[in-house]
Amino acid sequence: MDLSPKVQSNSNGTTILPPKETSLESNGHEMKGSYRTNLARNENMEKLQNHYLFPEITFRVVEHLKKYPDAKIISLGIGDTTQPVPEIVASEMANYAGGLATPEGYSGYGAEQGNMNLRKKIAEKLYKNLGVKNTEVFVADGAQCDISRIQMLLGSNVSIAVQDPSFPAYIDSGVIIGQSGDLDHKSGRYKNIEYMTCDAENGFFPDFSKIRRTDVIFFCNPNNPTGHAASRKQLEQLVEFATKNGSLIVYDAAYFVYIADDSPRSIYEIPGAKKVAIEVASFSKIAGFTGVRLGWTVVPEELLYSNGSQVIKDYDRIVCTCFNGASKIAQSGGLACLSDEGYKAILSTVNYYHENAKILTDTFTSLGFNVHGGINAPYVYVHFPGKKSWDVFNHILEKTHVVTVPGSGFGPGGEEYIRVSAFGKRENILEASERFKRVYL
């Protein structure tokens, strides 16, 4: 009996090769003796740079602990909150969850767009006098998930611009969906992405006279990682630039509640923004919902495609196709956050992180470093001139057992910087500051 694999053809006449034994390691390189399918890998996945930033940091910390098993690691890296969810919010979620065990309290699927009461509350409390309708608010399971859904809405045939440095999800999602082109390994930039330099020389805000026109502009404000909050005049320049070029702004306002000065908290504070901008925001960093998962996106009815049709109708279809709605338990917590008592409680937690940021800022400043951020954002952005940011990350981890984030993980413009998160417990912030002083004094 002939047991050798047979070569076949599909209905189009394309030859189908038999499955083979190959060698694929978990990082994508070949590994001996493993079975492989005939499924071709998405070529866009092959364009991604190595590992996603935060899992790479976790890997390095794990390796560090193998070397120093008794080390007390202080994590000021990933922006994960540490203060408890306010009691009034947690109680509301617990009561809702308990009600699911009763015939009267149980309910199944909700609206994909979110609880209408929550949508109304977001529009009324967070966009007061800005003309945002409750039907323009889409409740989601976090801002990062919505970024990917927006990328699905945009498709692969659009050109995109990002701040440099910026949150890596904008670029990585663009790579995966096919917007990026190939990576230029020398510069660390993708050929089809426009990188808007945001550095100390330009006040961490792009010079639009040097930026080419793109279909979409991803803009995080306050910026992650630099901590810069754009002024009203700067955001007017952004909206003017987008309007002139017929571009869409995807405005990430995840840290809006940390703005302590008179800088705008929403892009819709700028006249004309509703015609050119989608705004994404989240309860994660304002209410400690990093593990609860709740956010929202505003898509104005005035936002139109070049053919005159409404973007909101397509976004609604994306949501209905790809999403069954945010957890009702989480949404009950969101409503509690936006009550008068709940909002007062979450602002108290925000003030706590502000105080942490001041401690870190004062520490690095006293050590002679140029420090940015920390005022309108929960991140402190520290400059190490002439140093590779991963080298600085490794040195700090080795000498202090403190986890930070290398600036280059946010793009080539982040080289020579590290980001230090203020999302820590006060005792850890103080201890980390003492460790920094012992190394750099």
For the chain, state the CA radius of gyration.
24
pLDDT exceeds cutoff 70 at 4: no
Domains, the chain, in order of start with CATH, read 53-80+342-440 (3.90.1150.10), 87-339 (3.40.640.10)
Per the CB < 8 A criterion, the answer to whether 130 and 273 are in contact is no
Q: Where are the alpha helices (DSSP H) in 100-167?
A: 116-121, 143-154
In this prediction, residue 34 has a pLDDT band, given cuts at 50, 70 and 90, of: confident
Q: Is residue 11 pLDDT above 70, yes or no?
A: no
pLDDT in tens, 52-85: 788 899 999 999 999 999 999 999 998 899 999 9
| CA–CA gap between residue 38 and residue 53 (Å, rounded) | 30
Cβ neighbours for 274, distance < 8 A, ≥ 6 positions apart? 131, 268, 300, 302, 303
Rounded mean pLDDT, 127-146: 97
What's the rounded mean pLDDT across residues 419-431? 98
- Is 0.95 topped by the overall pTM? no
Tokens matching residue 81: 């909150």
- CA distances (Å), origin 250, targets 267, 279, 343, 421: 10, 6, 26, 24
Write out pLDDT tens, residues 222-263: 999 999 999 999 999 999 999 999 999 999 999 999 999 999
pLDDT band of 32, cuts 50, 70, 90: low
24 CA to centre of own chain? 30
The stretch 23-27 carries a mean pLDDT of 47
Query: Dihedral angle at the C-alpha atoms of 263, 264, 270, 273, nearest 10 degrees?
Result: 130
CA distances to 97, 110, 217 from 252, rounded to whole Å, are 30, 26, 11
Residue 400 corresponds to which amino acid? T
DSSP 310: B
Strands 20-24 and 15-16: unpaired
Predicted confidence at residue 29, as pLDDT, reads 53
Instruction: Say whether pLDDT at 12 is over 80.
Output: no
Extract the tokens encoding 392.
């600085």
Q: How far apart are CA 294 and CA 289, in angstroms?
A: 7
pLDDT of residue 28: 52
* Residue 160 · residue 174 · CB < 8 Å: yes
Torsion of CA 162, 164, 169, 174, to 10 degrees: 40
230-237 long-range contacts (CB < 8 A, ≥24 apart) are 230/205, 230/263, 230/264, 231/263, 232/262, 232/263, 232/264, 232/269, 232/270, 234/205, 235/264, 235/267, 235/269, 235/270, 235/273, 236/270, 236/271, 237/208
pLDDT of 14 above 70: no
Q: What is the pLDDT of residues 282-332, one digit of tens each?
A: 999 999 999 999 999 999 999 999 999 999 999 999 999 999 999 999 999
Is beta strand 248-252 parallel, antiparallel or unpaired with respect to 216-220? Answer: parallel
C-alpha–C-alpha distance, residues 209 and 284, integer Å = 35
Q: For the chain, percent helix, then strand, then coil, each to nearest 5?
A: 40, 15, 40
